[in-house]
Amino acid sequence: MKDNWFDVLIIGGGPIGIACGLEAKKKGLSYVIIEKGPIVNSLYNYPVNMQFFSSSEKLEIDDIPFISKAAKPDRAEALEYYRRITTSNNININLFEKVNAVTKNYSDFTVITTKNKYQAKHIIVATGFYDLPKKLKIEGEDLNKVSHYYKEPHFYAGQKLAIIGASNSAIDAALECYRKGAEVSLIIRGSEVGQRVKYWVRPDIMNRINEGSIKAYFNAEVTEIQEHSIKVNTPDGNIKLENDFVLALTGYQPNFKFLVNMGIKLSDDEKKIPEYDKETMQTNVKGIYLAGVICGGMETHKWFIENSRVHAKMIIKSILSKATLV
């Protein structure tokens, strides 16, 4: 095999990307994983105290046991699990290297990254969706006081904090920051806390709202962010709240431009679901496959680790069915 020539190049070193690497290695294929950050970069960027909705066995890849101290593992345990899998299996992964372009040639692909140039017979895109936050598109969103990512609560102690959103990330942040002394206001576009909020967390946030410890504005929308306040449109009219920081935890989306630049077709509706064969995971571009949450387009709640682990075996099986490899 020539240097930087591979049967399979995997873009994304998250759990599903690692699962694809493990399967390629088991089947004797030459492969490399290109990851723009550390091992399982998306999980690394999760909130420090995040606890998974799924039990540990549902997060396992390649039938490697995931033992956790509680029924629902936390972020630290997941990071250790996937790191140990990567290192103990000598997975060929290049970290802190970003893929800039993928070009289809006559019989293979050229991949240009921030550090190198590769040739590969097949491409697996397992990039997830955590890179691009859904923007509010309002005045003041670019102020330094605004963040679309939440890490831990200590920073917000003693501050007037507005959290925009009703999903797990927003509710977890609201509870943690309240308990560290922040004055928390929840701005929720709908009429209730999200139905997909973890079942053991939902009663907690409802109790805090009902007792007034956390102020919630339902059917509300932030219309402007100012240096020391925010403007909110509520059913009772427009109000202005004193404010020190804003966490806009309104969700994230895949890098659709990256997919389109590779020639992958997206659905015409707002879901933007990529075109792929549900039996092989191959896209409309022959030789390019999708794995994991990227398959759902804007429906980022559709695919998780537990129900997309099978993609690795499906893809490698399809690749092996082809005649020529590097």
Domain ranges of the chain: 5-132+252-320, 135-248
Residue pair 95/39 in contact (Cβ under 8 Å)? The answer is yes
Question: What predicted TM-score, i.e. pTM, was given to this entire model?
Answer: 0.90
Which CATH homologous superfamily contains domain 5-132+252-320?
A: FAD/NAD(P)-binding domain (3.50.50.60)
Q: What percent of the chain has pLDDT over 90?
A: 84
List pLDDT tens digits, range 280-300: 999 999 999 999 999 998 888
* Residue located via tokens 């990330």: 169
CA distance 150 to 157: 14
Going through 189-311 in order, the beta strands assigned E by DSSP cover: 215-217, 221-225, 229-234, 237-242, 245-248, 252-253, 288-290
Q: How open is the CA angle 211-217-220, to the nearest 5 degrees? A: 170
For the chain, the distance separating the N- and C-terminal CA atoms, rounded to the nearest angstrom, is 7
Task: Report residue 301's pLDDT band, with 50, 70 and 90 as the boundaries.
Answer: confident
Task: Report residue 1's pLDDT band, with 50, 70 and 90 as the boundaries.
Answer: very low
User: pLDDT at position 322, please?
Assistant: 78
CA distance 276 to 255: 17
User: pLDDT at position 131, please?
Assistant: 76
The torsion of the CA quartet 171, 172, 177, 180, rounded to 10 degrees, works out to: 140
Alpha helix (H) residue ranges in the chain: 15-26, 41-44, 75-88, 168-179, 202-211, 256-261, 305-308, 310-320
List pLDDT tens digits, range 158-173: 999 999 999 999 999 9
Task: Please tell me which residue, 3 or 59, carries the higher pLDDT value.
Answer: 59
Q: What percent of the chain has pLDDT over 70?
A: 98
For the cut 90, the answer to whether the pLDDT of residue 210 exceeds it is yes
For the cut 60, the answer to whether the pLDDT of residue 262 exceeds it is yes
**Equal fold, 5-132+252-320 vs 135-248:** yes
Which of the 8 DSSP states describes residue 294?
Answer: G
In order of 9, 108, 121, 147, 314, the CA distances from 324 in angstroms are 15, 11, 9, 48, 18
For the cut 70, the answer to whether the pLDDT of residue 325 exceeds it is no
Residue pair 127/254 in contact (Cβ under 8 Å)? The answer is yes
Between strands 229-234 and 117-125, the pairing is unpaired
User: pLDDT at position 251, please?
Assistant: 87
List pLDDT tens digits, range 24-83: 999 999 999 999 999 999 999 889 998 898 899 999 999 999 999 988 999 999 999 999
The topology (CATH level 3) of 135-248 is: FAD/NAD(P)-binding domain (3.50.50)
User: pLDDT at position 2, please?
Assistant: 61
